[in-house]
Chain A
Amino acid sequence: MITIDASGMHYKELNQLIREGIEKGIKKFFLENVNGQYYIGDGIKGDDVVINVNGVPGNDLGAFMDGPTLIINGNAQDNIGNTMNAGKILIKGDAGDVVGYGMRGGKIYILGNAGYRVGIHMKGYNEQMPIIIIGGKVGSFFAEYMAGGIIVLLGLNDSDEFDSEYFASGMHGGTIYLRKKIDFSKYSKEVELYEADEKDMDFLKKYLVDYADSFNIALEGITDKPFYKIMPSSARPYAHLYTSA
């Protein structure tokens, strides 16, 4: 276990300390007074490595990460989990724009809201099943060009506001689960809205339990409402964009 006081530290030095620590076999990191340092946890490996962050980490948190767990005890900035391959990122506050861009594995759990462009270009294949769960609401371009994996939007604050635009446009793979029914006709023509059935809920349950445990909140508060499911209508929506059928 190691505690690093990051106040006034440049990201290069901080990330070097983390990498050297992992190399030495340290499993638990506590980063104190973090404020804006970029690239924390980028490209690091080690399924049993846990990094606790106090303060606001900078952009590109956990990009290309391959195994470790990052626990952010507050808000985080933009570009979290870009092309992340494995591991887990917990955000106890809000997340910025472009969460999980091109994500291909691992979990990102956000207790609060997330910004614009969550999960765009997210992909999955066989056992590589990236998952993002957002407790609050999201901005526009949610799941744009989504190609695989799972995104769950809980809307726990129960606000009626849902003004995200360009929702799931170009989505051609993966599944979105919503804890709130929305008038989907206003959004993408490339996807279908279903009621989640028992099989879906069985599948989701293990993730929702994990989510509730991660943030120490009651599972009943999450599963008290019916879920809806959004799937793409076609795996190749643009197959004939430039050619005739």
Chain B
Amino acid sequence: MLRTKNKFSTERDISGCGLCGIINAKKVKTNGSDIKKSISVEHDRGNGLGGGFAVYGNYPDYAELYAFHIMYDSLSAKADVEEYLKNNFIIEKEETIPTFNTSKIYDHPYLHRYFIKPKSNRPDKLFHELGDDDFVVNSVMLINQNYDGAYVFSSGKNMGAFKGVGYPEDIADFYRLEEIEGYMWTAHNRFPTNTPGWWGGAHPFTLLDWSIVHNGEISSYGINKRYLEMYKYNLALRTDTEAITYILDLLIRKHKLPVRLALTVLASPFYQKIDKMDGDKKELYTALRQIYGSALLNGPFAIVFGYANGMVAMNDRIKLRPLVAASMGDFTYVASEEAAIRAVCQNPDIVWSPKAGEPVIVEFEEKNIHQKGGLIGL
């Protein structure tokens, strides 16, 4: 019998990145196998040109130090950057990031990590009094812009980004994520749209403790970039996701906006909706739009945003990218597809689709309050 032949190629490029996140509110740690399993269900959303993970709680022994993950194209770039680090930071420990040679990931840069803290007598103190976080941000910007062949892809405390060119499940094997434990994980499967698929361009994008994985396209990139440059952020990567990371750093760390308010800057309600609000709320939202108009993200997006206190998942204002959430006990899961959640949690307590522009925010329940502020003596 003749089989009907499709004269067109059945190999279709399914455009659309995939993302997922897992958080345990009580900071119970899991290894990287669940997040790998979850993102691998979304394999066909990417095309092998970028995969990556962020994990929180993975460096408990160095929790007070900034963990720099740096990729180098050459050993000379490494030597140059290390000279800068030695002049400005106390390096408690440095080592090659452990990797596993899988046939799926070839052609990778040197991957090195440093557990460091800024020196109190570092040279820049002659000119200004920067706090440690600010100095770290400046250093990341400086290295990424001025040191050829070097790129800092992670700079937070007790967290780390692990990313590269490849499918996420292969990147997970490459970085041996099943040997890493953390209480929060995010993952990304990339289908590059506007910028090339290169090691640094994979998600997550991180700065200090902020990490972002993103599916979509930010059409307001130009105006966001110009706005951030006024605050001395250097957008060296020419990609929209980087801009989201820096906007959140600016709003939350520098301008001290509560997370929820910062998120309404990114996905502000439309004016017609604000007009229907009453009193104080209307005033607040109007003010946010007026002050932070240039930080508004336009265009389709779904993001998962990790920070020291928790995780946020959010859509653009008219839901042009998929996002599903579920919870099971202390675990909350988010993903582009429900199947990615079911792969690691077959019967969640609840499954829901977040509304457009309304963030899912999960923060850690701190058990040891006395440790946090140091004020309550026990």
Contacts and interface: CB of A to CB of B under 8 A. Distances in A.
Given A11-B44, A36-B41, A140-B319, A77 B353 contact: no
Contacts, number: 55
A94 B14 CA distance: 24
Nearest to A38: B44
Contact of B337 (A59, A139, A140, A141): A59
Contacts of B324: 96
Interface in B324-378: 324, 337-340, 342-343, 351, 353, 355-356
B262 to A, nearest CB: 23
Nearest to B352: A94
A56 B338 contact: yes
Interface-centre pick from B41, B44, B355 (highest chain A CB count, 10 A) = B44
10 contacts: A36-B339, A55-B339, A58-B339, A77-B322, A77-B337, A96-B338, A96-B353, A97-B322, A115-B319, A141-B318
A55 B342 contact: yes
Contacts of B44: 11, 38
B339 A35 contact: yes
Contact of A56 (B10, B322, B339, B356): B339
Interface residues of A, number: 21
Given A35-B41, A116-B356, A75 B338 contact: yes
Given A35-B41, A36-B41, A96-B322, A115 B339 contact: no
A78 interface: yes
Interface string A52-63: 000110110000
* Among B41, B324, B339: residue with most chain A CB under 10 A: B339
Given A56-B339, A116-B318, A141-B318, 8 more contacts: A36-B337, A36-B340, A77-B322, A77-B337, A78-B337, A97-B353, A139-B353, A140-B319
B154 to A, nearest CB: 29
Contacts of B10: 12
In this complex, the member of A23, A55, A59, A140 whose beta carbon has the largest number of chain B beta carbons within 10 angstroms is A59
Interface in A11-27: 11-12, 23
Interface in A187-207: none
B343 A35 contact: yes
Contact of B353 (A11, A12, A36, A115): A115
A77 B338 contact: yes
Interface in A80-109: 94, 96-97
B93 to A, nearest CB: 40
A140 B10 CA distance: 33
B356 A77 contact: no
A35 B335 CA distance: 14
A78 B14 CA distance: 14
Interface string B4-16: 0000001000100
Contacts of A139: 319, 353, 355-356
Nearest to B42: A36
Given A11-B44, A96-B353, A35 B342 contact: yes
Nearest to A34: B339
Contacts of B342: 35-36, 55-56
A56 B326 CA distance: 14
A160 to B, nearest CB: 16
B356 A140 contact: yes
Given A35-B342, A97-B319, A140-B356, A75 B337 contact: no
A24 to B, nearest CB: 10
A122 B289 CA distance: 36
Contacts of A77: 322, 337-339
Given A11-B44, A75-B351, A96-B353, A140 B339 contact: no
A139 B318 CA distance: 10
A159 B165 CA distance: 47
3 shortest interchain CB distances as A-B pairs: A36-B339, A35-B339, A36-B41
A127 B42 CA distance: 39
B339 A116 contact: no
Contacts of B353: 94, 96-97, 115, 139
A58 to B, nearest CB: 6
Interface string A114-130: 01100000000000000
